[in-house]
Structure 1
Amino acid sequence: MRHVYECPVRWADLDALGHVNNVVYVDYLQEARVDMFRSHRVELMGQELVEGLVVARTQVRYVEPLMFRFEPVRIDCWVTEVRAASFTLAYEVYDERPDGSRRVYLTATTELTPYIFAEERPRRLTAEEKAVLEGHRDPDAEAPERAPQRTPAHRLEVGHYPVQVRFSDVDVYGHVNNVKYFEYLQEARIAMMGRLWEEVPGETGRSSLVVAQVDVDYKVPILHRAAAYDAWTWVSHVGSTSLVMETEIVDASDPEREVLLARARVVLVFFDPASGRPRRPDDDIRAPLLEVMSPSC
């Protein structure tokens, strides 16, 4: 059984191209997920499963740009997998046409784990919770494929970005909200591209990049603190019209033991704003990407 949520599109959600920003979509997904749980609060066994969850993994596929309008966009939300200590929700952001067909803007999945925040540890799903979640599962849904992730042979300073956690980034349990990770990743990506293309005149290469796919693995909760965490970004693939950038956010406060907090893989596509179709970037844009591409990828 699918839950349907109508999400308003706000003017502040738009990027420089007039599209809903890729980060904001993840906020929409969180709103749809919370609405689903709250709508079925009694059915979903109370507060424990409604609020006692952490996001373990998010996969997002951006299908078509969503522009500002006064009508809300619809989001379907349903269960695809139920495991011993986690379950996966799928989403589809779309408009329904008069003939019943859909114009899809985004598809996504989120893997969620029940969590005991007082003890900072995950827990197993109860038999009752599993039974309820199974009632919301789509038996025809396929599990998402995981793209291979590889750590680079070495880190380049051009890809370093200090992640400063703001107090407003933290939820009531003291963890950085899962949506904020996408902001950190975007900031780290933009910082690296700004350094790579610092000598490139004009904005052609930078303004015609769009995000096509984002996969994020949440390893260890990020907590609020005065000291910054470290984000390391590298280029793992450069195609004719696309590139793949990967990022690790780490806690290096202990010089003897670095802790991996999150890992992400982002596919970006160069496109022609006039035609809306992918295009090959100019050589002065492509060359710096090839120069820093990790040899292990």
Structure 2
Amino acid sequence: MRHVYECQVRWADQDLLGHVNNVVYVDYLQEARVDMLRTHGRSRQAEQLAEGVVVVRTEVGYRAPLFFDFRPVLVECWVTEIRAATFTLAYEVFHERPDGSRKVYLQAATVLTPYVFAEERPRRLSPEEREGLAAYLEPADRAPRVTFLERPATAGRYPVRVRFSDVDVYRHVNNVTYFEYFQEARIHYFEELGRRSEREVTRPLLVVARKEVDYRVPVLHRPEPYDAWSWISRVGNTSFDVQSELCDGDTVLARAHTTVVVVDADAQRPTPPDPAFREVLVAALP
């Protein structure tokens, strides 16, 4: 069994490229997940699972741009794995075409764990919770995880200041907001790379194709900034990878791996970057 959530696209969800920003999709996933667990909870304990969980890992693959539409976009979600203290949800974000086929915009997965917020610790799934999740179970193998490189000395630093609105009801920074932090850090890093170059570099149209985030330690609201570090870890023909860490001193709070594609603005297809931009990327490799 799968759950389908109708998610209204907001005008403010669009970015400068005129389509829904990559960060916003993660908010859609959260809305669908909470709706699924609330709608089909069989008891008060099962309903608490809707909000009494924390996200351990998020994997997002962007398939096509989503533009503003008054029609709700559909988010389908189901369970792919149940373990002692975690479970994994898969998602597909799409519109249905008149012929019944799908226009898929995104496919994703999140690993979640039940959490005792009063004691700041994870807990095991109860038998009742496992039974409720099993109704949605379609077992699937986990995707292989990328290898994180050790942060190089040339990594770019961006100070992340937590806004009061970033914090959820549990006084932690919401999992969606990490994507925004890493986006801000990545954009700042690209500007820094341009300044490092002795040549004039024009940044091409860049689109995020895939993003993986591992959440390790909750981020709390405070006046002092956290440190977000970014570096280039791979340069391909039409794409490259950026790895990032969100840190409090020497403590790594979260990690991200982002695959970015260079796109021809007219043809709307991947294209090799111009030599000057590629030279900047290659020079930044550890």
Query: TM-score interval w.r.t. the shorter chain?
Result: over 0.9
Between stretches 230-239 and 93-102, larger displacement belongs to 93-102
Post-superposition Cα deviations, 1:90-112, rounded to whole Å, max 9, x if no partner, equal 10001112222211110000000
Between stretches 47-56 and 260-269, larger displacement belongs to 47-56
Which secondary structure state, in structure 2, belongs to the residue aligned with residue 205 of structure 1? coil
Who is 1:155 aligned against? 153
8 Å CA contact retained: 2:46, 2:128: no
Q: Map 1:123-134; keep pairs closer than 5 Å.
A: 123-134=123-134
Task: Give the letter for the 2:244 counterpart.
Answer: T
Note the C-alpha offset of 1:44. Answer: 7.2
Work out whether 1:285 is the aligned partner of 2:271: no
Task: Give the letter for the 1:205 counterpart.
Answer: R
Who is 2:92 aligned against? 92
Q: Distance in 2 between matches of 1:173 and 1:149?
A: 29
Q: Distance in 2 between matches of 1:201 and 1:68?
A: 35
Which secondary structure state, in structure 1, belongs to the residue aligned with residue 132 of structure 2? helix
**Structure 1 unaligned residues grouped into runs of 5+:** 253-257
Who is 2:144 aligned against? 145
8 Å CA contact retained: 1:44, 1:132: no
8 Å CA contact retained: 2:41, 2:132: no
Q: Map 1:158-237; keep pairs closer than 5 Å.
A: 159-198=156-195, 205-206=203-204, 208-237=205-234
8 Å CA contact retained: 1:6, 1:72: yes
Post-superposition Cα deviations, 1:225-274, rounded to whole Å, max 9, x if no partner, equal 1111111101000111101000011111xxxxx21100010000001121
Q: Distance in 2 between matches of 1:87 and 1:249?
A: 24
Work out whether 1:261 is the aligned partner of 2:253: yes
Task: Give the letter for the 1:143 counterpart.
Answer: R
Note the C-alpha offset of 1:38. Answer: 1.7
Which secondary structure state, in structure 2, belongs to the residue aligned with residue 51 of structure 1? coil
8 Å CA contact retained: 2:189, 2:230: yes
Note the C-alpha offset of 1:148. Answer: 2.0
Who is 1:38 aligned against? 38
Identity rate, percent:
57
Q: Distance in 2 between matches of 1:284 and 1:19?
A: 28
8 Å CA contact retained: 1:55, 1:178: yes
Q: Distance in 2 between matches of 1:230 and 1:185?
A: 11
Task: Give the letter for the 1:61 counterpart.
Answer: G
Q: TM-score, normalised by structure 1?
A: 0.91
Q: Distance in 1 between matches of 2:48 and 2:153?
A: 41
Which secondary structure state, in structure 2, belongs to the residue aligned with residue 125 of structure 1? coil
Who is 1:271 aligned against? 263
**Structure 2 unaligned residues grouped into runs of 5+:** none
Which secondary structure state, in structure 1, belongs to the residue aligned with residue 50 of structure 2? helix
Aligned length: 284
Who is 1:78 aligned against? 78
Q: Distance in 1 between matches of 2:143 and 2:90?
A: 9
Task: Give the letter for the 1:32 counterpart.
Answer: A
8 Å CA contact retained: 2:42, 2:132: no
Task: Give the letter for the 1:155 counterpart.
Answer: A
Who is 1:59 aligned against? 59
Q: TM-score, normalised by structure 2?
A: 0.95
